[in-house]
């Protein structure tokens, strides 16, 4: 069984993101970029399934310009067998990303697709669900445990009320939650090996995928800054201050 | 323990700063010219190239012109031609313009971010075939049977605080090479071990240092004058403490501001980070930042000993270059051009000889050393205070460094006076309100990150000294000189103890340098840990 894992290049979770002064987006100049942490968990799970003899091949895919090859190489160094970069300068929205993934799935015919539940840059949490619908295959989102046996996957999902366990027929789309696993460190010699692994570049335009943007972004703004507090020296002073603000 | 996996190269470079990258690039260029081939790897502890690099930085472009001709057509992302030079003497309430000393004239230079410069050099090295490994710490030296340096050992990953192995544990590999180039920067932890083991500092003065703190701001529109370079001396430092400020005006309303304090300060109560904040809130400085926003912050020790403190830079199997050796020019407050030159010189040496033998002689005969010799007496001239220092600096400048004497350097940790032997000057520091509020808030802008569940990487040999002897003698200066608030004395049921907030560490090395008992040893944390500086 082939497993296809989606990887998105995002601003590293340690970096403090800042909105550009003109509100047109987020300032990524000089910011450290990484694999979306949920996608890293997705890759780790795929690698474990391969190591357990359930999967035979793990393919990592990313959509973006050549800079995302850096993250694909990291994925290869972690242990993926090969990588696909869908080359485009356009920032795709979830639906277009799902359509792109579907186009690749049609060629690759994976038995399982594992994606992060969401990317930490836009927090959309949509691509996996949309892909399952377009592909007309089952979905198991927010996975915290995955057991694959034969043609089914038993997936424990993190839901509001606790944990829900479902069984899905394969092929299916699984999206990962934080507690599924802890991704491995990359061994230094594996970085060298990754340089020799195949990385295929497909032009986005070749896939004939529609890129209708359903969502138009108006502007970005940072959260409002909390106003400075004042120190009061007694309960009476507190009451006075609250009253003066009409809060009491 | 199992046998470590081994990788082999012709040359290992420790640290992807300007010296290490220049060395790699130059050696590959020479390979092309001479039809030779050196396999080269660079090990870098930061998660990304440039993420641990912090400098002012105004650079002299000549070495870059030599290394990468045509670089001006494809400059680093932050690169602003130097404009007006301003040199100020501050008092608590005012400022006075001083004539800019000749070493402080920056016409033809460029203001850059060292981090962005390194991030720009790295792909050029990779394009020439250099393997660069960010996120891996060279934690120890691999010695050969005859005692020579034979490479480095990469730190293990996935070790818990108690030393046990987490499920993600990965044993670090050994990298072997006939030659190891140490370009770790100021107070490199492997360089420190090697200087001691091979007694490389025998016959030279002790190395001396400063602590630099820096912030990048986006100021209110219109306030930045791209290219303007301002330095100051005087307040908030007293006349016995060496140091000063820099403000470099960048593009896109950005301004770099920083403050350097000589680590030979005597006052056990002195707080270098607070001095920086006091400077920013000076009535003539503050207006620039009002209405602005701090973007990033960090700190790094600076090597200041120069000519008379330069250790022997070669040993069997390894050489020291850049700030790991100590080639920074203090009066110019510039080390990047010297580091690049040093890296290139090392590459030329390796290309000729493939060994460390003879490198030190080459370095001492090079323009790098000539530049250091010329200014050798300026920094130590400040041991007798600001005014004597300025007078001496003027003399040394006029006489072009031809004085028949060489002033001595002394080690920084011995300069610190005991509480009972020293009366701290009345500093009259002001209440301030520009961000960041305190050191913890500042660490937030350094975006430093360490997995909390890993061994503490600041090894204090005997913490009993901290709460008994040190509290009494020096009042625990580590709680003041650390710019990241790593060291705290806390009291709980068990009594007083030293708490080390290692996860805050910004890898500046000040504690390793200034601790009066020399019992703090900075070692590498898990690779990829530490600050994530953006454009510093």
Q: What is the CATH number of the domain that holds A228?
A: 3.40.50.620
Cα distances (Å, whole numbers) of residue B395 to B86, B101, B391: 21, 12, 6
Quote the distance between the C-alpha of residue B223 and its chain's center: 29
Q: Give B48 to chain A, closest Cα distance, Å.
A: 7
**Contact criterion met (CB < 8 Å) for A30 and B154:** no
Percent composition of chain B: helix, strand, coil (DSSP 3-state, to 5) = 30, 25, 45
CB B257 within 8 A of CB B214: yes
pLDDT of amino acid B63: 97
Model pLDDT for residues A98-129, shown as the tens digit of each residue? 999 999 999 999 999 999 999 999 999 999 99
Model pLDDT for residues B152-202, shown as the tens digit of each residue? 999 999 999 999 999 999 999 999 999 999 999 999 999 999 999 999 999
Chain A residue numbers with beta carbons less than 8 Å from the beta carbon of B78 are: 30
ipTM above 0.85, yes or no: yes
Q: Please, what is the Cα angle at A179 between B524 and A182, to 5 degrees?
A: 35
Window 178-207 of A: residues touching B by CB (8 A cutoff) are 182-189, 191-192
Q: Give B170 to chain A, closest Cα distance, Å.
A: 7
Cα distances (Å, whole numbers) of residue A126 to A46, A93, A98, A133, A246: 21, 9, 9, 11, 43
Q: Which of B348, B357, B337 is nearest to B17 (CA)?
A: B337
Model pLDDT for residues B145-162, shown as the tens digit of each residue? 999 999 999 999 999 999
Provide the pairing of β-strand B209-218 with B229-234: unpaired
Is B1 a residue whose pLDDT tops 60? no
Chain B residue numbers with beta carbons less than 8 Å from the beta carbon of A32 are: 47-48, 51, 532, 534
Phi-psi group of B482: left, alpha or beta (phi > 0 → left; psi -120 to 50 → alpha; rest → beta): beta
Is B257 a residue whose pLDDT tops 80? yes
> Do residues B326 and B396 share a domain?
no
pLDDT of amino acid B371: 96
Q: Please, what is the Cα angle at A122 between A120 and A128, to 5 degrees?
A: 80
Chain A residue numbers with beta carbons less than 8 Å from the beta carbon of B152 are: none
pLDDT of amino acid B186: 97
Higher-confidence residue: B324 or A32?
B324
| Nearest residue, CB atoms, A14 vs list B78, B172, B449 | B449
B483 lies in a domain? no
> Do residues B124 and B185 share a domain?
yes
> Domain limits at A88?
2-244
How many structural domains is chain B composed of? 2
CATH code where residue B132 lies: 3.50.50.60
Contacts of B313 (CB under 8 A, 6+ apart): B200, B319, B320, B321, B325, B359, B360, B363
pLDDT confidence band for B259 (50 / 70 / 90) = very high
The SS3 call for residue B377 is coil
> Domain limits at B349?
8-68+117-204+311-374
The SS3 call for residue A58 is strand
* Residue B144, H or E segment: none
Q: Using omega within 30 degrees of 0 as the cis cutoff, is the peptide bond preceding B236 cis?
A: yes
The SS3 call for residue A14 is coil
pLDDT of amino acid A225: 81
B334 lies in a domain? yes
Quote the mean pLDDT of chain B: 95
For chain B, which residues lie within 8 Å of any Cβ of chain A, measuring from their own Cβ?
Answer: 5, 7, 47-48, 50-51, 77-78, 113, 115-116, 119, 131, 133, 135-136, 154, 157-158, 167-168, 170, 172-173, 175, 218, 253, 295-296, 444-445, 447, 449, 532, 534-535
pLDDT of amino acid B414: 96
B469 lies in a domain? no
pLDDT of amino acid A214: 80
Give the integer Cα–Cα distance in Å for A141 and A118.
Answer: 10
Give the integer Cα–Cα distance in Å for B482 and B272.
Answer: 8
Is A213 a residue whose pLDDT tops 80? no
Q: Half-sphere exposure (CA, 13 Å, Cβ side) for B400?
A: 1
B357 lies in a domain? yes
Higher-confidence residue: B3 or B253?
B253
CB-CB neighbours of B290 under 10 Å: 11
What average pLDDT does this structure show over B414-435?
93
B351 lies in a domain? yes
> Do residues B124 and B191 share a domain?
yes
B330 lies in a domain? yes
What average pLDDT does this structure show over B72-99?
95
How many structural domains is chain A composed of? 1
User: How much of chain B, in percent, has pLDDT values that exceed 90?
Assistant: 95
pLDDT of amino acid B2: 57
**Contact criterion met (CB < 8 Å) for A15 and B532:** yes
Give the integer Cα–Cα distance in Å for B331 and B338.
Answer: 13
Give the integer Cα–Cα distance in Å for A76 and A197.
Answer: 7
Q: Give A32 to chain B, closest Cα distance, Å.
A: 7
Is B479 a residue whose pLDDT tops 90? yes
Which strands make up the sheet holding B318-320, listed edge to edge?
Answer: B131-134, B40-44, B11-14, B179-182, B318-320, B314-315
Q: Give A30 to chain B, closest Cα distance, Å.
A: 5
Phi-psi group of A142: left, alpha or beta (phi > 0 → left; psi -120 to 50 → alpha; rest → beta): left
CB-CB neighbours of B128 under 10 Å: 16
| Nearest residue, CB atoms, A15 vs list B133, B136, B447 | B447
pLDDT of amino acid A14: 86
* Residue B257, H or E segment: strand B254-262
DSSP string, B76-128: -SSEEE---EEEEEE-SS-EEEEPPPGGG--TT-EEE-HHHHHHHHHHHHHHT
Cα distances (Å, whole numbers) of residue B400 to B307, B356, B375: 15, 32, 8
Q: Give A15 to chain B, closest Cα distance, Å.
A: 6
Q: Give A223 to chain B, closest Cα distance, Å.
A: 14
> Do residues B334 and B396 share a domain?
no
Maximum distance among all Cα pairs of chain B, rounded to whole angstroms: 69
Which strands make up the sheet holding B138-143, listed edge to edge?
Answer: B6-8, B174-176, B149-154, B138-143
Is A164 a residue whose pLDDT tops 70? yes
The SS3 call for residue B59 is strand
Model pLDDT for residues B275-307, shown as the tens digit of each residue? 999 999 999 999 999 999 999 999 999 999 999
Give the integer Cα–Cα distance in Å for B59 and B413.
Answer: 30
Maximum distance among all Cα pairs of chain A, rounded to whole angstroms: 73
**Contact criterion met (CB < 8 Å) for B136 and A185:** no
Q: Which of B135, B294, B146 is nearest to B220 (CA)?
A: B294
B429 lies in a domain? no
Chain B residue numbers with beta carbons less than 8 Å from the beta carbon of A184 are: 168, 170
């Amino acid at each position: 069984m082939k497993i296809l894992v989606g990887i998105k290049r995002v601003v590293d979770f340690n970096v403090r993101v800042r909105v550009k002064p003109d509100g047109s987006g987020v300032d990524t100049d000089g910011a450290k970029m990484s694999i979306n942490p949920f996608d890293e968990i997705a890759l780790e799970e795929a690698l474990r399934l391969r190591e357990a003899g359930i999967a035979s091949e793990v393919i990592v895919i990313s959509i973006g310009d050549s800079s995302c090859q850096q993250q694909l190489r990291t994925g290869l160094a972690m242990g993926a067998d090969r990588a696909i970069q869908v080359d485009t300068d356009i920032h795709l929205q979830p639906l277009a990303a799902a359509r792109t993934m579907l186009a690749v799935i049609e060629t690759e015919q994976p038995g399982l697709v594992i994606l992060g539940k969401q990317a930490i840059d836009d927090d959309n949490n949509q691509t996996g669900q949309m892909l399952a619908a377009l592909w007309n295959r089952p979905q198991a989102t927010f996975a915290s445990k995955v057991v694959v046996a034969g043609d089914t996957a038993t997936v424990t999902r993190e839901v509001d009320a606790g944990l829900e366990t479902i069984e899905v027929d394969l092929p299916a789309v699984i999206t990962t939650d934080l507690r599924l696993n802890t991704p491995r460190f990359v061994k230094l010699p594996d970085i060298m090996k990754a340089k020799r692994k195949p990385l295929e570049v497909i032009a986005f335009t070749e896939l004939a995928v529609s890129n209708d943007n359903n969502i138009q972004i108006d502007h970005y703004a940072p959260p409002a800054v909390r106003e400075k507090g004042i120190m009061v020296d007694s309960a009476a002073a507190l009451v006075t201050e609250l009253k003066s603000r009409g809060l009491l | 323990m199992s046998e470590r996996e081994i990788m082999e190269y012709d040359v290992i470079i420790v640290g992807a700063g300007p010296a290490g990258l220049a060395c790699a690039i130059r050696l590959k260029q020479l390979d092309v010219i001479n039809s030779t081939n050196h396999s080269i790897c660079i090990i870098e502890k930061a998660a990304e190239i440039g993420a641990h690099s912090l400098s002012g930085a105004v650079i002299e472009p000549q070495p870059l012109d030599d290394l990468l001709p045509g670089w001006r057509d494809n400059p680093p992302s932050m690169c602003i031609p130097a404009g007006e030079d301003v040199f100020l003497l501050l008092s608590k309430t005012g400022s006075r313009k001083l004539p800019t000393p000749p070493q402080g004239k920056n016409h033809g230079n460029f203001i850059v971010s060292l981090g962005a410069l390194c991030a720009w050099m790295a792909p050029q090295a990779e394009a020439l075939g250099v393997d660069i490994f960010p996120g891996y710490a060279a934690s120890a030296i691999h010695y050969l049977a005859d005692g020579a340096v034979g490479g480095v050992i990469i730190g293990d990953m996935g070790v818990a605080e108690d030393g046990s192995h987490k499920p993600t544990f990965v044993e670090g590999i050994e990298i072997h090479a006939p030659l190891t180039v140490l370009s770790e920067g100021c107070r490199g932890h492997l360089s420190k071990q090697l200087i001691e083991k091979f007694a490389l500092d025998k016959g030279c003065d002790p190395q001396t240092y400063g602590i630099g703190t820096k912030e990048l701001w986006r100021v209110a529109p219109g306030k930045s004058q791209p290219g303007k370079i301002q330095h100051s001396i005087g307040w908030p430092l007293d006349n016995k403490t060496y140091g000063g400020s820099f403000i470099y005006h960048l593009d896109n309303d950005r301004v770099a501001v920083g403050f350097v304090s000589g680590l030979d300060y005597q006052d056990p109560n002195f707080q270098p980070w607070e001095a920086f904040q006091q400077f920013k809130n000076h009535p003539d400085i503050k207006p620039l930042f009002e209405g602005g926003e701090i973007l990033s912050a960090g700190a790094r020790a600076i090597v200041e000993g120069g000519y008379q403190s330069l250790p022997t830079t070669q040993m069997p199997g390894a050489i020291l270059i850049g700030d790991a050796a100590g080639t920074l020019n203090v009066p110019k407050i510039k080390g990047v051009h010297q580091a690049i030159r040093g890296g290139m010189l090392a590459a030329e040496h390796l290309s000729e000889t493939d060994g460390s033998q003879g490198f030190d002689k080459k370095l001492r005969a090079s323009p790098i050393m000539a530049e250091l010799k010329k200014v050798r007496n300026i920094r130590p001239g400040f041991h007798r205070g600001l005014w004597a220092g300025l007078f001496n600096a003027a003399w040394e400048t006029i006489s072009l460094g031809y004085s028949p004497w060489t002033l001595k350097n002394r080690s920084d940790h011995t300069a610190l006076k005991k509480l009972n032997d020293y009366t701290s000057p009345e500093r009259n520091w002001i209440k301030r309100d520009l961000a960041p509020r305190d050191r913890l808030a500042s660490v937030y802008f350094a975006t430093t990150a360490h997995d909390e569940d890993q061994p503490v990487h600041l090894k204090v040999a005997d913490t009993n000294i901290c709460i008994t002897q040190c509290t009494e003698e020096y009042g625990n200066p580590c709680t003041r000189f650390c710019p990241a608030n790593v060291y705290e004395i806390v009291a709980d049921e068990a009594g007083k103890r030293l708490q080390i907030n290692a996860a805050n560490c910004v890898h500046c090395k000040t504690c390793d340098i200034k601790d009066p008992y020399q019992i703090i040893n900075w070692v590498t944390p898990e690779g990829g840990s530490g600050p994530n500086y953006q454009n510093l």
